[in-house]
Structure 1
Amino acid sequence: MKRYAALTVVAVIALAGLQTSAQEMPKVAVIDVQVLVQESAAGKEAMGRLAKLQNDKVAGRKKLSDEFDALQKQFAAQSATLTEAKVAELRKQLEDKEIAIRRYDDDATQELEKAKGTELGGLEKQIMPIIQEIGREQKLLLIFNKFQSGLVYADEAVDITDQVLRRFNTKVTTSGPAK
């Protein structure tokens, strides 16, 4: 009986210790980087620059497409009345314009990807010191990038996104492209 009482006391003490440690600050946290990019002032500015670049590329593509369409209409309307040499010349112009459009698309895609990498890399350089600072302050052992780390679920108690966002918006000034 004494042995049973002693085991019960040990179990109660162990459970009390677990409950106390469960109430302490979590040693693991998550952060939603997508929220930081979309809601921070610097992130909004970077996304605005990317959107402007994309709109410029779309406008350039539309201009090339309009030129191609005009050539196609000219070819359709005049091919029956033109000489063989003129028909061949128009066909060559159409092929050249088609190649120019494909090159433009490839170049635009590469330029947009490079700009995205530059912008997001600049944001990362600005935000990492803040994440590390909060991690040290809260004595966190690990901080995961929510949903991009293979994480499927995280309780809101371990999500530090709002803390990082507030500090990021107060510490980082927005001006010009990210370096």
Structure 2
Amino acid sequence: MARKLLAVGLGAAALLAGAGPLVAQEAATAKIGVFNADRIMAESQAGQQALALFNQLRDQRLSDLQVQEEEINNLRQQALGATPNTLEAAQLQRQLEDRMLQMDRLQEDVQTELANRQNELTGDITQQVGQIIETMGQEEGYSLLFNAIQSGLVFVDPAMDITPEIIRRLDLINPGPGP
């Protein structure tokens, strides 16, 4: 019985050993590509347009926040200059606390607005890139395509980088403003 189990075990091991080179051979012929999603957003015309719109909104909102901060600083200076334990000092302190609370709310609103706007601006691009990657995978026979940023890869042969082709195809879908 033990001899029969040993024979079965050795037979299975031989099968696996024989399959090993076959699996390795298939893996060696697999076509693998890598892309950099950050580069696609930074270098494509659609990504640059989205980034410009986002930066414009962000700069505007930061400017609004700076105006609020300056007003708070002015109130703070007034409160510090007021005679302690007077009605004026108490009113200024209350105004300061109210403005600081408003500022906190405004900062939260700005963060939410910017996050939503970024998602709006990049959502269509991300979807288009996904479709381009799927099409390229099918057309060019890729077995695996990795996002270099999220993949954990530590080295990639530059010949495997399909980022420029994805950017080219994305720019064909979304041509930038004319000259």
Report the TM range for the smaller structure's normalisation: 0.7 to 0.9
**One-letter amino acid of the structure 1 residue matched with residue 123 of structure 2:** G
- 1:90 aligned onto 2:85: no
Q: Find the counterpart in structure 1 of residue 76 from structure 2.
A: 72
CA distance in 2, matches of 1:118, 1:142: 29
**One-letter amino acid of the structure 2 residue matched with residue 115 of structure 1:** R
CA distance in 2, matches of 1:146, 1:89: 57
CA distance in 2, matches of 1:37, 1:135: 20
CA distance in 1, matches of 2:94, 2:62: 25
- Greater helix fraction, Structure 1 or Structure 2: 2
Shift of 1:120: 2.1
Q: Find the counterpart in structure 1 of residue 121 from structure 2.
A: 119
Q: C-alpha root-mean-square deviation of aligned residues, in Å?
A: 2.2
8 Å contact kept, 2:36–2:148? yes
Shift of 1:73: 1.9
Which one of 138, 143, 146 corresponds to residue 145 of structure 2? 143
What does the per-residue CA deviation read over 1:78-103, in whole Å, with 9 as the maximum and x for residues that have no partner? x12x8722221111000001111111
- 1:48 aligned onto 2:56: no
Higher mean alpha-carbon deviation, 58-67 vs 127-136, is at 127-136
CA distance in 1, matches of 2:173, 2:125: 13
**One-letter amino acid of the structure 2 residue matched with residue 97 of structure 1:** R
8 Å contact kept, 1:126–1:172? no
Shift of 1:124: 0.7
Shift of 1:174: 4.8
**One-letter amino acid of the structure 1 residue matched with residue 79 of structure 2:** F
TM-score, normalised via structure 2 length: 0.77
CA distance in 1, matches of 2:93, 2:136: 64
CA distance in 2, matches of 1:84, 1:108: 36
What does the per-residue CA deviation read over 1:94-113, in whole Å, with 9 as the maximum and x for residues that have no partner? 00011111111111111111
Superposed structure 1 runs of 4+ greater than 6 Å apart = none
- 1:60 aligned onto 2:53: no
**One-letter amino acid of the structure 2 residue matched with residue 70 of structure 1:** N
- 1:107 aligned onto 2:109: yes
Shift of 1:69: 1.2
CA distance in 1, matches of 2:85, 2:166: 70
What does the per-residue CA deviation read over 1:112-140, in whole Å, with 9 as the maximum and x for residues that have no partner? 11222222222111222222221111111
TM-score, normalised via structure 1 length: 0.77
How many percent identity over aligned positions? 28
Q: Which runs of 5+ in 2 are unaligned?
A: 1-20
Q: Which runs of 5+ in 1 are unaligned?
A: 1-13
Secondary structure in 2 aligned to 1:148? helix
